Amino acid sequence: MTEITFNIPVESFRKIPNPYKEGPSSVSQMYTAICDVKDLPEDLINWMETNPRKQNTNSGVAKKIRASLVEGKDFHLLNRGILLSANDVTFNNYDGTMKLVFTDKEYHGNVDGGHTLMVILENRDDLERGQQFVKLEILTGVEGIFEDLAAARNTSTQVQDKSIANLRDYFDIIKQAISTEPFKDRVYFMENDDGNIDVGDILAILNMFNLDTYPGMDSCPVVSFSSKKRCIDNYIHLYEQYGDSPENPHVKMKPIMVDIFKLYDYVESKIPEYYRVKNPNGKYGAISGVTTPKENRKAPVSKFYEKTLSHGSPNGFIYPILGSLRALLEEKNGVYRWKCDPYEVLEKIGPELVSITVERSRSSGNDPVKVGKDSVNWQTLYMRVMLTAMGN
């Protein structure tokens, strides 16, 4: 593990108190600082893997940032600033220096504001010291929610990709498949569309059943949980390569697409019941990441068909269990089909799949996010489903 330290002179520094005093969320901390653009470390450019956007300093966005930086005033007020994730942050009151510690390029570095960082580094030689400042926001202890954080802070790129794909009719494959389903009007394909089902979620779920990309147990679709953006990119890439021809995996998948969405809701609704089979005295609602409806509050409903749920289960549980059903698929005559009834398999081993997943979460610090990213858990569940299918 590489550790690197940045000592940055800052004009102001503040720690924002965490409202959570206990529990998993209490480990996260937020800091804000203002620094002269001349003092921004050059080596921050080497810690960009945490930013899901591609930086293009010739883009219209970058040109506007440059104009604001070089020609304008109050850059620290007009620009959103730079968001960094770090292992540790300290402040020296004596010399006004902020110390950042990065240890893991997967989680530490620039999360948002990559264009701002690059534009500053490329143009600050044209500025005088004290002429322009930039706002820095630093987060620590966010490794467990990092993918959600990066996605939430970088929605515009995802929205743009989805919107362009929609304008080019790339999503017609999905629209046709769900045209008679009750949730079809709740799926949003573009920015500001009505609906509460993100097409990015649909693409992530479908990715779990892509036999062309994941033909067996050796590779698992963990990316469905860890990066919605990559699932969007993969879908667009496949469409640009194959269009709506029979070679496109999503065309092969059309006959079972609705089955997949129904299975999602089924798994989501059955997890609490399956848990109690193996733990008759256990309380599913007490498990970290599980939500229980409060008294006099509306009960949660399933994602697609809005069936009432007893509990809300984390995606870190749902995705690996649902994804294991890929073991029941085969390609025949150019389309995907079920080798055996997935509901029968779930009734046989659903409790075992849930038990394995929950225990994996407990051994990972009661963190469903880690379970969702755990390829070993995905492989274990897949193998269990595969062996059950072979016995049918």
User: DSSP assignment of 193-253, as one string?
Assistant: -S-SEEHHHHHHHHHTT-TTT--SSSS--THHHH-HHHHHHHHHHHHHHHTTSTTSHHHHH
What's the whole-number average pLDDT of the chain?
90
Residue 303, H or E segment: none
Domain containing residue 361: 158-391
Cα–Cα distance measured from residue 151 to residue 70, given in angstroms and rounded to the nearest whole number: 30
Count Cα atoms within 13 angstroms, Cβ side, for 251: 13
**Is residue 138 located within the same domain as residue 162?**
no
**Is residue 297 located within the same domain as residue 263?**
yes
Question: What pLDDT sits at residue 12?
Answer: 97
**Is residue 171 located within the same domain as residue 309?**
yes
**Is residue 146 located within the same domain as residue 198?**
no
**Is residue 108 located within the same domain as residue 186?**
no
**CB atoms inside a 10 Å sphere around CB 155:** 12
Among the ranges given (195-199, 334-338, 355-359), the one the predictor scored with the smallest mean pLDDT: 195-199
pLDDT (average), residues 255-283: 97
Question: What pLDDT sits at residue 296?
Answer: 67
Q: How confident is the model at residue 57 (pLDDT cuts 50, 70, 90)?
A: confident
Please tell me the pTM assigned to this model. 0.70
State which of 153, 183, 217 marks the end of a domain.
153
**Is residue 173 located within the same domain as residue 124?**
no
State which of 153, 173, 203 marks the end of a domain.
153
- Give the E-state strand segments of the chain in sequence order: 4-9, 12-16, 29-36, 82-86, 88-92, 97-102, 109-112, 133-140, 187-188, 197-198, 329-332, 335-338
**Is residue 228 located within the same domain as residue 341?**
yes
Handedness of CA 320, 325, 327, 329 (dihedral sign): negative
**Is residue 39 located within the same domain as residue 144?**
yes
Nearest CA among 183, 220, 201 for reference residue 315: 201
**Is residue 170 located within the same domain as residue 212?**
yes
**Is residue 181 located within the same domain as residue 82?**
no
pLDDT (average), residues 309-328: 96
Domain count, the chain: 2
Nearest CA among 183, 175, 176 for reference residue 305: 183
**Is residue 294 located within the same domain as residue 362?**
yes
Task: Give the N- to C-terminal CA distance of the chain in Å, as an integer.
Answer: 47
β 4-9/97-102 pair status: antiparallel
**Each residue's pLDDT tens digit, 355-381:** 999 999 999 889 898 999 999 999 999
pLDDT (average), residues 89-109: 93
Nearest CA among 86, 190, 198, 97 for reference residue 143: 86
Q: How confident is the model at residue 146 (pLDDT cuts 50, 70, 90)?
A: low
Q: How confident is the model at residue 190 (pLDDT cuts 50, 70, 90)?
A: confident
- By percentage, how much of the chain surpasses pLDDT 70? 92
**Is residue 169 located within the same domain as residue 148?**
no
**Each residue's pLDDT tens digit, 159-172:** 567 766 776 689 99
State which of 138, 153, 168 marks the end of a domain.
153
